[in-house]
Amino acid sequence: MKYIVKVAPEITIKSKPVRKQCIKLLSKNIRIHLDRFDGFFEVVFRWDRIDINFASLPDMDEEIQSILKNIPGIGSFMEVQSFPLLTPGEGWDNTVVFDNILEKASEFYLDKISDHTFVVRVNRSGLHNFSSIDLERYVGGGLLERSENAKVKLKDPDVKVLIEVKEDMFYIVKSNIEGVWWYPVWFQEKVVSLISGGFDSGVSTFSMMKRGCLVDYLFFNLWWSAHELWVKQVAYHLWENFSTPHKRARFITVNFEEVIQELLTKVHHKYRGIILKRFMLKISSMIAEEHYYAIVKWDSLWQVSSQTLKNMNVIDRASSTLVLRPLISHNKQEIVDISKDIGTYDFACNMPEYCGVISDKPATGARLEVVLEEEQQIAPEVLERAFSSLKVQFVKDIIGEYTSASESELDLVLDLSGGDIIIDIREEREKKKFPLIVDVDIVDIPFFEINHRFKDLDQSKQYLFYCEKGVLSRLYGLYLREKGFNNIKIFRKK
């Protein structure tokens, strides 16, 4: 079994020293990723490609291909069968050479092109007395004569017959698979990427990995430990699939629960989202000061109110470190599509967001002096305590520390009965705007007080948490379940 790896196009246009450095690094990364097949493969670094030669590994094609297609720096790779271009004693007689290639192509492609359209494509390098087009015409004509009901179609055919000719060898391509492209990991410096587990943060993190950056993950925990688990699963998925396994990526957690409570009780609702992101950047900058060259954020221009140019300008004033936004020009659908390609879509679909701190009328063009004045309402000690809460773990060590988050789901109630008690966890302003009218008892406890006040309720009773979107109800219900409270369900209006 043999694979020919073609490096990403951006690498091929670099200067000779840089190109050599990239391909050498990519070869090293490939060896590391394929380490599980130790003793059964060799990686050969060449100027224009990388050859991977495997010993007999039956039924391993799918696993090998799933690894190679996720390694940054690979433009594409081909599974091939290799043959000598000439047998000993033969001269450069084109008819002999072409017939030999036609026979091998027929063995693999003849059944595939039957009742289909096809085209032959040859990629040739080396000193030969024939051209790629000469070989394409000869093999194409021979296949057409031998096949049943096949037709040649030069544009958008059903089957592409792919042949590689390299010096004194030729290769029949069994499959041609697109890679991640861009640059090999370790080609760029270290960055720390803010990650929340949603669509945007997973894609922005991946975007920096495929540009060759060494990425560590920074998570601001606003709510509870189960949310942290879900985000860790996303980080683990990205690290395992797109980084290099021996790179000890770090997952950094900062407890921001007190910050959230301070924002909700002391800051005008118009500026909460902006100040929250400024505080995140302040902490990120403190972390990055000695270890990272840049902070990566998932902002997309005007996707939400805090992501206007005016607001991002105000937010970035909180950081002394370079802030990168790889998704700045992406629309939401583009981001969602990429999340499907990289495997983070299913995580993001079930990931809660911190919408609870965003007002229904957030500022879209905040002035720095106003924001700074609002920030004065929160004592510096709050951020100092948040920074001191910092935890650092290696991604490879954390994935098994919890049971699956799916095991912690809460029951959903749509139809109320006489003995139900609803806890309305919305803020007072939202309750007035959208009053909840039901025929059961309602207890009003704002979500930022639920952690402290729920334990004082009669624990012999069942409680139904309610908020408009259901996100915060689920968050805090699961949080309290982790604390040992099993008398919580979620209420949702039909």
Q: Is residue 146 within a helix (H) or strand (E), and if so which, with residue range?
A: helix 132-146
Contact yes or no for 64/3 (Cβ under 8 A):
yes
Contact yes or no for 268/206 (Cβ under 8 A):
no
CB atoms within 10 A of CB 248: 12
Of the listed 22, 349, 355, 467, which one is catalytic? 467
Sheet of strand 117-125, all strands in order from the earlier edge strand to the far edge: 41-45, 50-54, 2-7, 74-84, 169-178, 159-166, 117-125, 151-152
Rounded to the nearest 5 degrees, what angle is found at the Cα of 79, between the Cα atoms of 73 and 80? 125
Q: Is residue 225 within a helix (H) or strand (E), and if so which, with residue range?
A: helix 225-242
- For residue 136, give the nearest of 149, 154, 151, 148 by alpha carbon: 154
**SS3 state at 210:** helix
Q: For the chain, what's the residue count?
A: 494
Q: Active site includes 349?
A: no
Identity of residue 412: L
- For residue 491, give the nearest of 464, 458, 463 by alpha carbon: 464
- Alpha helices, H only, 147-198: none
**SS3 state at 154:** coil
Q: Residue 193: is it exposed, middle or buried by C-beta count within 10 angstroms (0-12/13-18/19+)?
A: buried
User: What is d(CA 292, CA 282) in angstroms, rounded to the nearest whole number?
Assistant: 14
Active-site positions read 467
